[in-house]
Amino acid sequence: MGILKDKFTAKVNASNTEIKNLLKEHGSKVAGEVTLAQIYQGMRGITGLVTETSLLDAQEGIRFRGYSIPELQQQLPKAPKGDQPLPEGLFYLMLTGELPSEEDANYITDVWQRRSHVPNHVFAAIDALPVSTHPMTMYVVGVMALQTESYFAKRYAEGLNKKDYWEPVFDDAMILLARLPRIAAYIYRRKYKNSEHIHPNGLLDWAGNLAHMLGYDDKGFMELMRLYMTIHADHEGGNVSAHTTHLVGSALSDPYLSYAAGMNGLAGPLHGLANQEVIKWIFEMQESLGTDEPSKEQIADYVKKTLSEGKVVPGYGHAVLRKTDPRFTAQMEFGKNYMPDDKLVNTVWKIYETVPPILQSLGKIKNPWPNVDAHSGALLVHYGLVEYEFYTVLFAVSRALGVMASLIWDRGLGFPLERPKSVTTEQVKLWLEGKDQIWGE
């Protein structure tokens, strides 16, 4: 891992100097104000942390180190004869800030291939759970079992200089990334394919190998995995999974502990679990309507029924985005190229034409447009991966790319323990009466 570490060292040293000077000159500049509503309502719109790997624009969507998804699809290295980016290239970009050459991406594939062996006790820990366990629970248990391997935890226990924290975090992150596809595939084959496991293929790239170990060697599915792993990787720092990983990491919990914590957040239905909820909701709609080709009118009625029952329409809305998610659009383009006549995929597109005006008409939803989760399941179903409870595990494997690149940066930049201030309503009332300060320990 020497070449990549050397590259990172040069980048992080330059950044440290830049940030030190920036704070010296501008550290006391006021960067915004906070309303009482924001304090009570999920801290929306409060800028409170630095994440170098990607930036989310409410109108335009995500950019990874300045590159949009269509730009990444053009400029990142591809698998032989492939047309989708290799996630290895995205990881390189997020870690170094530079577009990788084919050689750079292949180097990462090679490192991850060599470090992909998962110790037996991890499989034993997963096997100890009932088969009925949700795949995300199995996944987090697998990650936690892998924590026995942490270099950071060992080196910290031995006594590690602050300046060197990032290095074992880097090693842990690379090894964790190398092993996650194996863990994910193991869970899938155990739960849904009678524990008939498939050996990794040493010649395949990271996402291609995941497809292979899941049991889907179709070229289209491999390309889908490369796209899927790329677009789900990062969504700046404030989302639940990225923020949790960063927060737990700030206590110097090692990368395994931090990532597992983040993935427990991803497993919530308002976040990553929404991808399973979308397909579940569509299947339930099909069953209730008695057709797998519902009309727009039928969809509209079903959406209104969902809302009248006090439920959310899964896959729609976002805490930051205010337009159609470019990750949704990238998947729609993939569908148009690879499966234009698929009934379920066409239903997803009909839902897209139907839902936004209905949500808009409620007058309270800030973003009526689809997010990434509105589309992903239908593409997986097309290739036969119908077991929707597994979908969030795929999201989790991808999200590791972003949160691990960020965690390496967090330690490289020496970010301290994160600890915002909270208040009680009693104190808020005193403050409103002019009898107390709201801030300050």
Summarize as ranges the residues that interact with ligand HAX (CB under 6 A).
Answer: 239, 270-272, 274, 307, 312-319, 364-367, 371-373
**Residue whose CB is less far from ligand HAX, 49 or 274:** 274
Point out the catalytic residue in the list 271, 325, 382, 410. 271
Q: How far is the CB of 316 from ligand HAX (least distance, A)?
A: 4
b/e map 343-362, b = 16+ CB within 10 Å: ebbbbbebbbebbbebbeee
Q: Please name the residue ranges forming H helices in 290-390.
A: 296-308, 326-338, 343-362, 373-382
134 catalytically annotated: no
- 57 flagged as catalytic: no
Choosing from 232, 373, 382, 410, which is the catalytic residue? 373
Q: Helix 326-338 and helix 373-382: axis angle, to 10°? A: 20
> Where does residue 77 fall: left (phi above 0), alpha (psi -120 to 50 degrees), or beta otherwise?
beta
Which is nearer to ligand HAX, 67 or 369 (by Cβ)?
A: 369
Whichever of 78 and 399 has its CB closer to ligand HAX, that residue is 399
Pairwise CA distance, residues 374 & 235, whole Å: 16
Of 232, 318, 375, 382, catalytic = 318
CB of 355 to ligand HAX, least distance (A): 8
Closest approach of ligand HAX to the CB of residue 405, in Å? 18
Adjacent-strand bridge partners of 67: 64
Q: How far apart are CA 436 and CA 429, in angstroms?
A: 9
Minimum CB separation of residue 180 from ligand HAX in Å reads: 18
3-class DSSP assignment, residue 56 = strand
Please say if 373 is a catalytic residue.
yes
CB of 311 to ligand HAX, least distance (A): 7
Residue 207 and residue 163 in contact, taking contact as beta carbons nearer than 8 Å: no
By DSSP bridging, strand 54-57 and strand 61-64 are: antiparallel
- Which residue's Cβ has the minimum distance to ligand HAX? 317
Active site residue ranges: 271, 318, 373
